Amino acid sequence: MDEPRFRESRLIEWIRRETPANGVVLVGIGDDAALVRNRSATTLLATDMLIQGVHFDLASASPREVGWKALARNVSDIAAMGGQSTVAVAAAALPRGFAERDAQGIIHGLLDCADAFHIHLVGGDLAATQGPLVLTVTLLGDLAGRAPVLRSGARPGDAVLVTGALGGSLLGKHLRFRPRQAEGLLLAERYTPHAMIDISDGLARDLHHILEESRVGATLWADRIPVSDDAGRAALASGRSPLDHALGDGEDYELLFTLDEPTAARLLADQPLEVSVARIGVITPSGATLVLPDGTERPLEPAGWEHTT
């Protein structure tokens, strides 16, 4: 039997019941705009779009996973600035004939992520489309009075570090990753990174974003880059090396950051995060170089995801 199509008013009322107002959300879903209590004078703001056929495939991704990913990508951006995610709005363009159960699955995924990271989902928009499913999330974040961690602060001599393991995300991690919110906060509060970014486009490309904004270079050591087991599995199918997958696959959503040498040594000795941290290189005055295990060097190209029109 075919699933019933959603009715916008009924779905909005269901979402409203799932997201009640509280001490932070003074006016929630149901009015023309939400009213929230701001925690400080400055607010982080991130937005991201998720497109069927580009960022996910409904043949292999459940609606709940799609909802999780739509919000989690933004949480990762706020984490990379050293902030705490607070309040979100979400908009969805749903294909005509989209089942109400699947629409609710997307909302459940958004709420799973919101609950996991103490975020208030306060509204958004729904529309029907002849095109693919598109989700857009906008997320606010709080810095608790600290300065944000930017991409532009890396300095020659800094250590280059990364959380977790990289590569092979299309085997499942890109749908089920957990943003490094707690890790970003701890790094910002205790270690003060000079620069930080989340790895969404690929290690090599996202490192180049830091280098460009900071006007510096870097040397990475290939044998110190943490390569995931999924990168190895992806390499068997692709014919590329696991290292190439770690450098360029993207959607790892790990944190890439720089610290001065003494602070980096303290972090590596402490290992205070729930995920491992590895030192993979050093910031240099210019250029971008990858040192292979045999000692040979090659240019580190900005391999990874390129957003094009």
pLDDT at 309 over 50: no
User: Residue 292's domain is classified under what CATH number?
Assistant: 3.90.650.10
Q: What is the pLDDT of residue 21?
A: 61
Give tens-digit pLDDT for 167-185. 999 999 999 999 999 999 9
Distance, CA of 264 to CA of 158 (rounded, Å): 8
Q: Specify if 2 maps to a domain.
A: no
* Lowest pLDDT segment from 58-72, 236-250, 292-306: 292-306
- Confirm whether 308 is domain-assigned: no
What tokens does 208 get?
């180049």
Specify the CATH number for the domain of residue 36: 3.30.1330.10
Q: Do 83 and 169 fall within a single domain?
A: no
In this prediction the pTM is: 0.88
What is the residue range of 167's domain?
159-299
Instruction: Return the pLDDT at 67.
Output: 97
**pLDDT of 12 over the 80 cut:** no
Proportion of the chain above pLDDT 90, given as a percent: 75
Asked if residue 150 belongs to a domain, the reply is no
CB 143 within 8 A of CB 44: yes
Last residue of a domain, one of 113, 142, 171: 142
**Residue-wise pLDDT tens digits, 189-199:** 999 999 999 99
Beta partners for residue 135, in sequence order: 50, 92
Task: Give a yes or no: residue 36 inside a domain.
Answer: yes
Co-location of 164 and 289 in the same domain? yes
Residues 166, 78 within the same domain: no
Structure-block tokens of residue 159: 């250590």
Is 166 inside any structural domain? yes
**Which residue is listed with tokens 């019933």?**
4
Max CA separation in the chain (angstroms)? 64
With respect to residue 309, please indicate whether it lies within any of the assigned structural domains: no
| Residue 84 domain flag | yes
Note whether 164 and 291 are same-domain residues: yes
Mark whether 39 and 129 lie in a shared domain: yes
